[in-house]
């Protein structure tokens, strides 16, 4: 058996198709950015030393937005929004390139519309910055996989108080316990089974789009067991621990 240090890792094979694809990709990006650079420098009123920033606001932006749209860790709605960002930036880039080449070839003249071209080119960086903030917000939240927990045998839930509906996760078993937990006494920590139940109830609420605070989680757990099994301090500790675990998972 090979030791971990002796395990061979297959190298990525560089094929002619991969090389050609890279050349075409780089050529397309450079050609696009050079046209947008010329548009900003010759017709947008930008200084040549700064005109290179204009194509970055369009070409690099639609490439970044496309990467977010292809991220399978995001929800479908977020991916569609990122795809819309990418499409709008791509269309603006294509329109700018077409306008530049038409102007350079002398096929069209701006005439009294020159001010509109200057205005659009001038506000593009500000629009790109605002759109980027939205794109970052879209990509910052991912769909978290359910945390793995140690397997435990299911235990029948204690009867709930009349008029209350216990909160349970439809796809998660409640924690094991030799019996119903003991009622919480002042100055005593809750049973481990109660702490685990609090985690499950908090997770089930998150899955259904609800957020528990310490007061509501305390009530939900106590209603589930039919007695005072957890206090507000312990409920707050569970919320803090589970929230920290989800953030580390991101």
Domain boundary among 89, 120, 140: 140
> Dmax over Cα atoms in the chain, in whole Å?
88
Which residues, including other chains, have CB under 8 Å from residue 102's CB and lie 6 or more apart?
108
Return the pLDDT at 200: 87
Domain boundary among 140, 173, 208: 140
**Domain annotation covers residue 110:** yes
Same-domain check for residues 129 and 178: no
Which pLDDT band holds residue 86 (cuts at 50, 70, 90)? very high
**Helix, coil or strand: residue 5:** helix
- pLDDT per position as a tens digit, 143-182: 444 445 554 444 455 554 554 445 444 444 344 344 567 7
Nearest CA-CA partner of 50 in 62, 41, 63, 59 = 41
Residues in the chain: 250
Which pLDDT band holds residue 94 (cuts at 50, 70, 90)? very high
Q: Please state, for a pLDDT cut of 70, what percent of the chain lies above it.
A: 77
Return the pLDDT at 189: 78
Same-domain check for residues 126 and 157: no
Same-domain check for residues 126 and 45: yes
- pLDDT per position as a tens digit, 69-78: 999 888 999 9
Return the pLDDT at 171: 41
Quote the pTM value.
0.49
Nearest CA-CA partner of 132 in 77, 230, 56 = 56
> In this structure, how many other beta carbons lie within 10 angstroms of the beta carbon of residue 230?
28
N-term to C-term CA, the chain: 35
Residue 53's domain comprises 15-140
| pLDDT value at 3 more than 70 | no
Q: How far is CA 101 from CA 27, 80, 107, 124, in A?
A: 17, 32, 9, 19
**Domain annotation covers residue 250:** no
Same-domain check for residues 154 and 215: yes
Which residues, including other chains, have CB under 8 Å from residue 169's CB and lie 6 or more apart?
200, 201, 203, 204, 207
Higher-scoring residue by pLDDT: 206, 122: 122
Helices H, strands E: what count in the chain?
8, 0
**Domain annotation covers residue 5:** no
Same-domain check for residues 105 and 161: no
| pLDDT value at 125 more than 60 | yes
Domain boundary among 105, 140, 175: 140
Return the pLDDT at 223: 84
Return the pLDDT at 156: 52
Higher-scoring residue by pLDDT: 224, 67: 67
Same-domain check for residues 19 and 106: yes
Number of structural domains the chain divides into: 2
H helices of 105-231, in order, are 114-140, 192-207, 214-225
Return the pLDDT at 142: 47
Structure tokens at 80: 């569609």
User: CA-to-CA distance for 89 and 70, rounded, in angstroms?
Assistant: 16
Are 194 and 229 in contact by the 8 Å Cβ rule? The answer is yes
| pLDDT value at 56 more than 50 | yes
**Domain annotation covers residue 206:** yes
């Amino acid at each position: 058996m090979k030791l971990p240090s002796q395990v061979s890792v297959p190298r990525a094979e560089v094929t002619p198709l991969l090389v050609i694809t890279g050349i075409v990709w780089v050529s397309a990006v450079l050609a696009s950015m050079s046209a947008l650079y010329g548009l900003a420098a010759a017709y947008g009123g930008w200084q040549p030393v700064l005109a290179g920033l204009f194509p970055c606001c369009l070409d690099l932006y639609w490439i970044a937005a496309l990467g977010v749209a292809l991220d399978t860790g995001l929800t479908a709605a977020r991916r569609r929004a990122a795809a819309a960002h990418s499409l709008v930036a791509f269309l603006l880039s294509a329109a700018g390139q077409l306008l530049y080449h038409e102007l350079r070839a002398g096929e069209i003249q701006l005439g009294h519309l020159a001010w509109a071209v200057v205005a659009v080119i001038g506000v593009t960086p500000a629009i790109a910055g605002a759109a980027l903030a939205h794109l970052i917000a879209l990509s910052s939240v991912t769909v978290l996989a359910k945390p793995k927990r140690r397997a435990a045998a299911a235990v029948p839930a204690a009867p709930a108080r009349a008029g209350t509906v216990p909160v349970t996760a439809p796809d998660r078993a409640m924690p094991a316990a030799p019996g119903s937990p003991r009622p919480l006494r002042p100055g005593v920590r809750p049973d481990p089974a109660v702490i685990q139940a609090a985690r499950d109830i908090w997770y089930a609420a998150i899955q259904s789009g609800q957020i528990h605070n310490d007061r509501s989680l305390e009530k939900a757990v106590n209603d589930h067991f039919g007695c005072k099994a957890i206090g507000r301090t312990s409920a707050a500790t569970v919320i803090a621990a589970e929230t920290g675990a989800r953030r580390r998972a991101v």
